[in-house]
Chain A
Amino acid sequence: MIAAISAAALTLSGCAASNALNEEEETTAADTSDTVSVGVLHSLSGTMAISEVSLRDAELMAIEEINADGGVLGKQIEPIVEDGASDWPTFAEKAKKLLQKDEVATVFGGWTSASRKAMLPVFEQNNGLLWYPVQYEGMESSPNIFYTGATTNQQIVPSVTWLLENKGKSFFLIGSDYVFPRTANKEIKAQLEAEGGTLVGEEYTPLGHTDYSTLISKIKEEKPEVIYNTLNGDSNVAFFKQLKDAGITADDMTVLSVSIAEEEIRGIGTDVLTGHYAAWNYFQTTDTPENEKFVAAYKEAYGDDRVTGDPIEAAYNAVYLWAAAVEKAESFDVDAVKEAAGGIEFKAPGGTVTIDGDNQHTYKTVRVGEIQADGQFKEVWNSGEPVKPDPYLETYPWAEELN
């Protein structure tokens, strides 16, 4: 095992060959220590801090729990927290620092797809390991990334089907102007065409956009039955407040969002959200014994007024899945962990999740919930069993042209 880690260190220091000998010595020395460092890389400042700070909290909580339980392979996990600052190049830079300077065993991090896309080449070049805990647009399967959030067929595709069956056929798509909404909407459009829905409008606004009056008057013109919302971050607050002011309630049009979890609801205000929907794999109200424990532990650690949510749960799961894979591999080596990860199961708060060895995503149960006046979700539909991840939508004939 020492040999394996030294080999990894050699690969890492490939670009600074003169230091290779030094680093090898350091790693060997570190290996005898009783801690293993991992990176935690989220935006702790900037526009995405609203969402990402909680992921850091969940990951640190999982690390603490595992440490209290004896650690991984007898070693205590030592988190190194870095701030991605809502800035994609910073994410890449910090990832490089964690892999090359701190030589962490793995990194948990990211939220926006843009930050993941920025980190991806860094992890592939350095053969690092990234656990990405947020639902995303699919069409990706990096050998150096594990995706513990939902891919499209575990969130967007089933929710569109549910909307078509229960809420209406005419769709208006709105989203923030970056990679996730644009890719997701491409998929939704193909699905609508195949399943008998109609598209009446598609609009994008810059991240951080705060005036939605014009977009709302376009929506009023087109009178859709369903608004499919892939806005991200603070824009959601402005959109929902102004939608209500324009006299549109949940009875007039159904808004289904994929970026609004319990945490975001608190910042938007339930008065403007009640009755609208969101699609996720986990709600704080999900009824499992594991979730009861998880919610209680989270509130105890960070305060009674804090809430959990889907990405928070996925971030928490990621740490446990990594630890389980390490135990199975009996090594911290990236290749060995990847090899061992397939089939690893974890009884997560949102139901059992299993790593799919083929694409490094996880099997997850899909849920649609209605926002209640107390800021929690009432589950109105779930998939019954964990859905196999299919990031490239290969099992859907209508998605053929997207690849």
Chain B
Amino acid sequence: MAVVITQIFNGISLGSILLLIALGLAITFGLMNVINMAHGEFIMAGAYTTYVVQQAFSQYVPESFFNYYYVAAIPLSFLIGALLGFVLEKTLIRFLYHRPLDSLLATWGVSLILQQVARSIFGAPNVAVTSPAWLDGGIAIAGAVLPYKRLFIIALVTICMISLYLYLDKTAAGRKMRAVTMNRSMASSLGVSTKKVDAAAFAIGSGLAGVAGCALTVLGPIGSTIGTYYIVDAFMIVILGGIGSLIGTVFGALSVGMLGTIAEFWTGASMAKVIVFVAIIAFLQYKPAGLFSARTRSLE
């Protein structure tokens, strides 16, 4: 019984991690159709921001407050990610909006540059982030231990998801963003500044990558290459979910997480990766537009 609970929880947890890394990409790739290979490096930037905040807290803040460094790190990671994204959009991406192959190559180059910058600043070896004490341990349910860190990530991704939904659906800025992605020229002719909207959307997507990086520090390594571990999964999930559909990304992440953990439990980690890839490819053969197709009737 404990195993069943643990495995269901593991599936949801892996799904939530995948969702967190794919959420930013769901905007920049899903809504804006920009293939941003440097997305993983925004995750890395968030992780290093967390490390820097931790170092700063351990030096300048009384010890009793040290455990709250993480609370400060989350919004800061978002800001750093968003700032990097904003700069990248202004200096590079906006010239490449209708040239997907060029933007793929250019952003891949950017990702290599960012990795090398990180190595120059922080050194090639990994750095360690001590997770805050209030995230240590877990809840025991029927013999299964649900770690607080994983519960926290599930909560964090839920909050990000809800805020994103509210932003896109209930605010004027979010509605403009959707209008631009649905029909750029129509939105433009109605007075929406597409340049501003593009920059804002790209910054938000990149900021979410920063938050993902911050969250991942409690579970995994923090080094210059962490982005490369997650980037493929992130693209896979957005494509599986259906380009342009946020809800599709949610279901895509959860189904990959579930399938991945079940397959790993019955076979092994390497085999599970193969099974997940085969399943996704087979599914996309059957439904090329993904789980949720968000194609509108706009002329393309």
A residues in contact (CB < 8 Å) with B: 44-47, 49-51, 53-54, 177, 203-206, 208-211, 213-215, 217-218, 220-221, 234-235, 237-238, 241-242, 244-247, 263-264, 266-271
CB distance from A147 to the nearest CB of B (A): 24
CB distance from A214 to the nearest CB of B (A): 4
CB distance from A301 to the nearest CB of B (A): 14
User: Given A49-B119, A208-B229, A245-B149, are A266 and B264 neighbors across the interface (CB < 8 Å)?
Assistant: no
Judge whether B17 and A267 touch: CB under 8 Å: no
Tell me which residues across on chain B come within 8 A of A269, comparing CB atoms. 128-130
Number of residue pairs A-B, CB distance < 8 angstroms: 133
From B2-10, B24-32, B158-166, B189-197, give the one contacting chain A.
B2-10
Q: In the complex the two chains form, what is the Cα distance from A356 to B6 in whole Å?
A: 51
Judge whether A211 and B126 touch: CB under 8 Å: no
Against A, the Cβ 8 Å flags (1 = close, 0 = not) of B106-119 are 00000000011001
Tell me which residues across on chain A come within 8 A of B268, comparing CB atoms. 203-205
Judge whether B221 and A247 touch: CB under 8 Å: no
Tell me which residues across on chain B come within 8 A of A242, comparing CB atoms. 147, 219
Q: Which of A203, A221, A238 contacts B220, CB < 8 Å?
A: A238
Tell me which residues across on chain B come within 8 A of A217, comparing CB atoms. 3, 6-7, 10, 265
CB distance from B75 to the nearest CB of A (A): 23
Tell me which residues across on chain A come within 8 A of B224, comparing CB atoms. 49
CB distance from A223 to the nearest CB of B (A): 12
CB distance from A78 to the nearest CB of B (A): 24
Q: B56: CB under 8 A from chain A?
A: no
Number of interface residues, chain B, beta carbon within 8 A = 51
CB distance from B59 to the nearest CB of A (A): 14
Q: In the complex the two chains form, what is the Cα distance from A235 to B223 in whole Å?
A: 12
Determine chain A's interface SS by DSSP, over half rule.
helix
Tell me which residues across on chain B come within 8 A of A49, comparing CB atoms. 119, 124, 224-225
Residue of B nearest to A51 (CB): B125
Q: In the complex the two chains form, what is the Cα distance from A271 to B54 in whole Å?
A: 15
Q: B61: CB under 8 A from chain A?
A: no
Q: Which of A204, A263, A267 contacts B221, CB < 8 Å?
A: A267
Judge whether B126 and A234 touch: CB under 8 Å: yes
Q: In the complex the two chains form, what is the Cα distance from A266 to B123 in whole Å?
A: 12
Judge whether B138 and A245 touch: CB under 8 Å: yes
26 residue pairs from A and B, CB less than 8 Å apart: A45-B116, A47-B228, A49-B225, A50-B126, A204-B269, A208-B225, A213-B13, A214-B7, A214-B261, A214-B264, A214-B272, A217-B265, A221-B3, A235-B221, A237-B221, A238-B220, A241-B218, A242-B219, A245-B136, A246-B147, A247-B138, A247-B140, A264-B126, A267-B126, A267-B221, A268-B126
Q: In the complex the two chains form, what is the Cα distance from A271 to B133 in whole Å?
A: 11
Tell me which residues across on chain B come within 8 A of A204, comparing CB atoms. 268-270
Q: Which of B7, B123, B145, B265 contacts A246, CB < 8 Å?
A: B145
Task: Find residues 270-284 in chain B having any chain A CB closer than 8 Å to their own CB.
Answer: 270, 272-273
Q: B150: CB under 8 A from chain A?
A: yes
The 3 nearest A-B residue pairs measured at CB: A267-B126, A237-B221, A269-B128
